[in-house]
Amino acid sequence: MQVKNKNIFKFRSDCPISSALDLIGDKWSILIIRDLCFFGKRTFSELSLSDEKIAANILADRLKKLEEYGILTKGKSPENKKTVLYTITQKGLDFVPVILDLVLWGARHLDSHISAEAKQFAKKIKKDKDAVIMEVNKKLASTGQLR
Amino acid sequence: MQVKNKNIFKFRSDCPISSALDLIGDKWSILIIRDLCFFGKRTFSELSLSDEKIAANILADRLKKLEEYGILTKGKSPENKKTVLYTITQKGLDFVPVILDLVLWGARHLDSHISAEAKQFAKKIKKDKDAVIMEVNKKLASTGQLR
DNA sequence: ATAAATAACTTTCAATATGCAAGTAAAAAA
DNA sequence: TTTTTTACTTGCATATTGAAAGTTATTTAT
């Protein structure tokens, strides 16, 4: 097999920055959290369809790790027994401020490359970041998309 | 050779989050920015000495990329012609909010693992994040550690 | 003046991680 | 009953990482 999951998670130091990066500091984890928090995605196939085109094996590996870290939970759908639902936890939702700051950075420094919607979103964040955080929180909580 | 630098930088999408991650979404770049912004490090050897023990080849590769991205600049020391000085730019400094939010996340969710100093720092950030950002900015600007 | 250190990398090579393409199993839809 | 769909897994090629040792150009010490 490949993409073996040893998952004896080892931290490089006791620095909170490096420790957070030890968990989600790769090119995909934050995007998975983004899709759960901002785009209402909940299933493997929905998560597979992002613009960035994550490979199925990598997605499976990241979902497993994020579940182990308590950043999301894996559950069955109430509708049918084929669908698996991934749900963000509070621990995962607490990455939203980090994500919003990344949006601001991107909007400021990669302007020519960024979509118009993203620029609008950045404007909103700049105006009232806490309101955006609250809004995401409420939306997920009210639709049962938060564990 | 290895760690080849093609550096035709390719973005996975037009999302500001994924685009920012395309530049600094690895396990080391943010730590280099941290060391420049918060620990006053300026040289290759100083950056080599972090708790996380980055390998020299990786450090060289990241410094090259971060310079290409305009996140830091590379210059000669006025003191002697052996030392190379790495200096953060405004573009790099603008990652400070992201870093501070990572500190808050780590302090909240990895409490048992985090150092006492880090917890103190988190407290300060929680009290007034903007003040911390301003402080870092001023300190670097006043000591000529900002391009 | 010469030798030993130091700074800033570079090189080599083994170990991991990533990514594409194809395959599988169970459940649901046609 | 066949076809789709969902959620993955597997195999394999390629790319990245990391440890260790080596290189070159200064400085510093003797």
**Interface contacts (A, B; CB < 8 Å):** 140
Q: A5 pLDDT band (50/70/90 cuts)?
A: very low
Q: Which residues from A are below 8 Å from B11, CB to CB?
A: 113
Strand D bases with any atom < 7 A from protein Cβ: 5-13, 16-22, 25-28
CA distance linking residue A9 with residue B13, whole number of Å:
30
Residue to test with chain B: of A13, A95, A105, A113, most B Cβ within 10 A = A105
Q: Residue A31 belongs to what domain range?
A: 16-142
Please provide the average confidence, as pLDDT, over all residues in chain B. Answer: 94
Domain-located, residue A90: yes
Does a structural domain hold residue B22? yes
Residue B38 backbone class (left: φ over 0; alpha: ψ -120 to 50; beta: rest): alpha
What mean pLDDT comes out for the span A98-113? 97
> Is A62's pLDDT higher than 60?
yes
- For B49 and C6, how far is CA from C1' in angstroms? 15
Is A6 within a domain?
Answer: no
Number of structural domains chain A divides into: 1
Q: What is the mean pLDDT of residues A107-127?
A: 97
B86: left (phi > 0), else alpha (psi -120 to 50), else beta? Answer: beta
pLDDT: is A6 or A27 the higher one? Answer: A27
Residue A3, pLDDT above cutoff 60: no
Q: Is residue A7 part of a domain?
A: no
B95 has a chain A CB within 8 A of its CB: yes
B124 touching chain A per CB within 8 A? no
Residue A4: which pLDDT band, with cuts at 50, 70 and 90? very low
- pTM to 2 decimal places: 0.94
Residues paired with A86 in a beta bridge: A74
Dihedral in degrees, nearest 10, Cα atoms B135, B54, A104, A56: -160
Instruction: Tell whether A8 is covered by a domain.
Output: no
Q: Which of A68, A100, A109 to probe the B interface (max B CBs under 10 A)?
A: A109
Provide the chain B residues 22-51 that lie in CB contact (below 8 A) with chain A. 22, 25-27, 30-31, 34, 50-51
Q: Is residue B81 part of a domain?
A: yes
Query: What is the number of residues in chain A?
Result: 147
Q: How would residue A8 be classed by pLDDT, with cut points 50, 70 and 90?
A: low
Per-residue model confidence (pLDDT) at position A10: 86
Inside any domain, residue B2: no
Is residue A33 very low, low, confident or very high in pLDDT (cuts 50, 70, 90)? Answer: very high
Residues of A whose CB is below 8 A from B113? 11, 14, 19
Is residue A44 predicted with pLDDT exceeding 80? yes
Structure tokens that stand for A63 in this block: 């979902």
Check CB contact of A133 with chain B, cutoff 8 Å.
no
Rounded to a whole number of angstroms, the distance from the CA of B81 to the nearest CA of chain A is 33
Phi/psi of residue B33, each to 5°?
Answer: -60, -40
Contact across the interface for B31 and A17, Cβ inside 8 Å: yes
pLDDT for B8 equals: 53
Average pLDDT for A55-79: 97
> Hey, is A136 helix, strand or coil?
helix
Q: Is residue A10 part of a domain?
A: no
Give the mean pLDDT of chain A.
Answer: 94
User: Tokens 């998670």 sit at which residue?
Assistant: A9
| CATH of residue A46 | 1.10.10.10
**What CA–CA distance (Å, rounded) separates B115 from A19?**
11
| The pLDDT of residue B4 | 43
* Residues in chain B where the model's pLDDT stays below 50: 1-7
User: What residues of chain A lie within 8 A of the CB of B118, using their CB?
Assistant: 14-16
